[in-house]
Structure 1
Amino acid sequence: MPAHSQNVVIRPIQYRDLDALAACGEGTLESGDPVDAAEISQFLAQVRQWYGPLKFLSLFPNPLQKLLSVYVAEREGKICGMIQVSPFNHTRSTWEIQRIAINGAVGSSFTVVGSQLLRYCFEKLWEARTWLTEVNVNNKSALALYRQNGFQPLAQVTYWSIASEVLSELATREPDLPNLLPVSNADAQLLYQLDTAAMPPLVRQVFDHQIQDFKTNPVQSMTQGMSQWMNRAEVISAYVFEPQRKAAIGRFELRACRDGSRPHSAQLIVHPAYTWLYPELLTQMAQVLRAYPSNELHLSSRDYQPEREEVFAQVGAVQIEHGLMMSRSVWHKLRESKAISLEGLQLPDVLQGLQPSGKPVPGRISWAADQAFHADANRSQYRAAKPGQAKEHSSESDRLANSSEAGLGDRRPLDSAD
């Protein structure tokens, strides 16, 4: 490690750091991608506006405690870089690296300072078992940084854009969705099962979603409502219910912009056995967007969902960006199965592990042979005794035998004694 990188101090962000980061400018705040640099500047402006409430929420346990998980690297009183992380699931077993930037004006290396920021998060956030991030495939410096710190490719992500003209054409026909229902907390079990079935096991264990991830508490609902009001957006969520199997087979979450200042966005999940739902759900979203200003719709697909990419290409969507999802485990091994609680174990399950694995095999030595073995051992010990002791033992035994015989001979009836 270079000598100038050893005196770097990494700490949580403070309000005075926002001025220092903003003074760096887009030319010196390097993130490896010009688009990311613009997003970082916008993020710093939002943090400056809401720093007080976010700092207050981070002081005590609450669902929004980790909203301000931002750390900065400082060397000789100058900011070298920053990193923002956030929990990815409800149990906080997986954390996501949202953005990382290095201040090139102070001569900081993107790889060196970035590695220090990553390692600090790995050690500081002890509850994180897995780390997740997504990088643009053209961002070579960020890809090299993550690969150097143990991140492995998880899935390739393709971002699509559907033009407003295509959406207007899709909205002309009626979708075949008879069991389309709005999403609520009561449907968390169904949505969890759909999410589990729609991804491969490796991605599933990295995401580590639980039923609570598909529920919204009052605090989150209030925060999401405030965010939608500030961004002038509205979220519409619905899912398709299969009455025969009593399962959710498809869902979408549409984020519509009310003033047309930014494109609409949506998340689409379909069960692998019901791929015919893709065009129907796209048609449903196109009809919903007719009530909002005309604009394009952005969606994403991963490489383990080839049917979705085929449908997007058929309707006329255009690929606008390619990303690479990467993950890193801080454990030596990821567990595919859930952790077993001792409270859920039944008595037969506990005793099952104490039963012998097979029938016992009988030995060749019988009881009679065992008795003969002990008799021979006692006889050998007696013969091995000293001659004087053997003679003494024999004389003592003879004396006892004679006395017993004499006693038996002296015994006479009482009549004869008289």
Structure 2
Amino acid sequence: MVALRGWHLPLLQDPCFADLLPLLQRAVLLQGPERLLNSLTARPPLVPDVLLAYREPQHPLGLLLSQRLNRSGSCWQLLQLRSSEASLAAGEAGRMAIEAALIREAIQRSRGAASWIATAATTDSDRLALLRQQGFQPLRRETLWRWEPPASPQERPLPSDLQLRPLNRRTAAAMWQLEQAALPAQLRQLLDRRVEDLLDQSEQPSLMLFDCNRQQAVAGARRLRPGNRGLPELELSVHPGWQHLLGEPLQLLLERSAAGADQLLVRSDVLDAERSNWLQSLGMAPEGEEVVMARSVWRRHAPQASAQVAQRLEAVLGRLQPGQRPIPTPLGRP
């Protein structure tokens, strides 16, 4: 298994990879700048990392795309996992072995990563089984709602203590605190998302409802980059104590955040039946369900450093023993 290089591109003409070719070309083109910029400063990634599995240089078997989810590199996301037609023809066991090897290699190469995130459709039993086999555990189930927002949304009044504010550098901390309150504790810990990461992962328009009395964001709609379905996505967050905003306040928030989009997808927790019913009342149709899965990464640390410290300590203590003449002791190189 190797990282994708330019000379691999002509070999990736398999129909299973066809829709990824523009992204793969961009990844190859920006590999150098990505490494250089990442060595200079913490910043969002330009392109995903691409790992290629092959039987011979001329016969690719599968590929995996992954990307840092935060600037620190503590959390990574599995973006795409594809097998070639040859792998699919070889049978289920062979395909899953190749995909499992790709996941293990990607995790091994992600130095500094403490966690990995992956998503899979609830109907994709093979992918779910593969991720569980590799240590991923389900943390959240989400419904994706397809929505055609109104071209000219109505003016809807807000309660006097609420304001509609855009997400920017001045307001990002308030949105971050809202998401910390709304996310499940384990998922929040594994994502390890900071304020700057929130800004990196959001597009405009992203908006929030801000309570002027309490000086906090109580609901937010973040515009996300288009996913596998090619549509922009909205992630709706509501503070646990503010579910009563379901209605015109949240409808205004969604409609303003959807400005300029003919269609988009809205993500919602499957377990929140009240919100699901409300989204359906706005004319949204369920597009499908996804499982958000995650795993921690534990790495063994080489014991050489501890052994070296013990050797030095023994040498120092040896000189302090009574009745012995101090003898110079070689400490070894640091």
Unaligned runs of 5+ in 1: 1-9, 30-39, 225-233, 333-418
Deviation at 1:66, TM superposition (A): 6.3
**Matches of residues 5-404 of structure 1 in structure 2 within 5 Å?**
10-21=1-12, 23-25=13-15, 29=16, 41-49=18-26, 51-60=28-37, 61=39, 62=41, 63-65=43-45, 67-77=47-57, 78-105=59-86, 109-164=94-149, 167=150, 171-176=153-158, 178-215=162-199, 235-254=204-223, 265-279=233-247, 280-286=249-255, 292=260, 295-331=262-298
For the aligned residues, what is the CA RMSD?
2.8
Amino acid at match of 1:251: G
Q: Deviations over 1:319-346 (max 9, x none)?
A: 11111111111239xxxxxxxxxxxxxx
**Deviations 1:58-113 (CA, angstroms, capped at 9, x unpaired):** 24424255623111012222211100111122322111101101113255522101
- Give a deviation string over 1:10-59, Cα, whole Å, max 9, x none: 111011222222x111xxx3xxxxxxxxxx53332233256323433224
Q: Pick closer, same or farther for the CA change 1:175–1:113 going to 2, 3 Å.
A: farther
**TM-score normalised by length of structure 1:** 0.61
1-side partners of 2:49 and 2:188: how far apart? 25
Question: Comparing 265-274 with 298-307, which one deviates more in the overlay?
Answer: 298-307
8 Å Cα contact 2:26/2:47 also seen in 1: no
Partner of residue 393, structure 1: none
Q: Quick one: structure 1 residues 150 and 265, their matched pair in 2 at CA, closer, same or farther if it must change by over 3 Å?
A: closer
Q: What per-residue deviation string (whole Å, max 9, x for no partner) do you get for residues 224-243 of structure 1?
A: 9xxxxxxxxx7212222212
Say if 1:156 and 1:245 are closer, same or farther in 2 by CA, change over 3 A. same
2:243 counterpart SS class: coil
Residues 175 and 284 of structure 1 are in contact (CA less than 8 Å); yes or no, is this contact kept in structure 2? no
Rounded Cα–Cα distance in structure 2 between residues aligned with 1:197 and 1:64: 24
| TM-score under structure 2 length normalisation | 0.75
What's the CA shift for 1:183? 1.7
Question: 1:385: which partner in 2?
Answer: none
Give the percent of matched residue pairs that are identical in Structure 1 and Structure 2: 22
Deviations 1:156-199 (A, max 9, x none): 111012245xx369x33514164111222122321221011002
The amino acid that maps onto 1:102 is S
Cα 1:42/1:277, change in 2 over 3 Å:
farther
- What's the secondary structure of 1:67's corresponding residue? coil
Offset at residue 266 of structure 1 (A): 1.9
Deviation at 1:313, TM superposition (A): 2.3
Paired residues of 1:235 and 1:256 also in contact (CA < 8 A): no
Are the structure 2 counterparts of residues 123 and 101 from structure 1 closer, same or farther at C-alpha, using a change threshold of 3 Å? same
- SS of alignment partner, residue 144 of structure 2: strand
CA distance in structure 2 between the partners assigned to 1:304 and 1:203 by the alignment = 16
Q: Which amino acid aligns with 2:14?
A: C
Q: Deviations over 1:298-355 (max 9, x none)?
A: 20112354442132123232111111111111239xxxxxxxxxxxxxxxxxxxxxxx
Kept after mapping to 2: 8 A contact 1:192/1:214? yes
Could you say if the C-alpha distance between residues 324 and 300 of structure 1 is closer, same or farther in structure 2, counting changes exceeding 3 Å?
same
Residue 46 to residue 250, structure 1, CA distance change in 2 (3 Å): same
| Superposed CA offset, 1:240-283 (max 9, x none) | 221222111111234799xxxx7553222111111233432323
Whichever structure has more strand as a proportion of its residues is: 2
Rate the CA distance shift 1:255–1:130 in 2: closer, same or farther, 3 A: closer
Change (3 A) 1:104 1:121: same
The aligned residue for residue 363 of structure 1 is none
**TM superposition shift of 1:205:** 1.4
Change (3 A) 1:55 1:320: same
Give the match's secondary structure for 1:112: helix
For residues 89 and 252 of structure 1, the distance between their equivalents in structure 2, rounded to whole angstroms, comes to 20
Q: Which runs of 5+ in 2 are unaligned?
A: 300-334
